Amino acid sequence: MTGESVNVIVGELAIRADIANADTVLPTACAGGATVAYAAGVPVLVIAVHGRWAPNSPVILSYIRAVDCWRDNAMRNVGL
């Protein structure tokens, strides 16, 4: 299976699912890979270099997803 065939399949599924702007939907593993690496303790700079983002690019931060919203909450240890 080629990359282009994956794009076609994902695009067709997005249309069938009635997703807004389905014609612009493309598959990506960037968020998954970046999130898993970050959760494993890999520094953001290393993830950026591996993903071929510029080392000082803020874009990498948009690819790292919160896996555990409570554990990753900045206010977790703040007393109420």
d(CA 16, CA 27): 15
60: which residues sit within 8 A by CB, 6+ positions away? 34, 44, 47, 48, 51, 53
Q: What is the pLDDT along the chain (80 residues), one digit of tens a residue?
A: 776 787 788 888 888 988 887 777 766 667 778 888 888 899 999 988 888 888 888 888 888 887 777 777 778 788 76
Instruction: Give the pTM.
Output: 0.53
**What are the residue ranges spanned by the domains of the chain?**
3-63
- φ/ψ of 63, rounded to 5, equals -90, -15
| The pLDDT of residue 42 | 92
Give how far Cα 61 sits from Cα of 3, 44, 77, Å.
Answer: 25, 8, 23
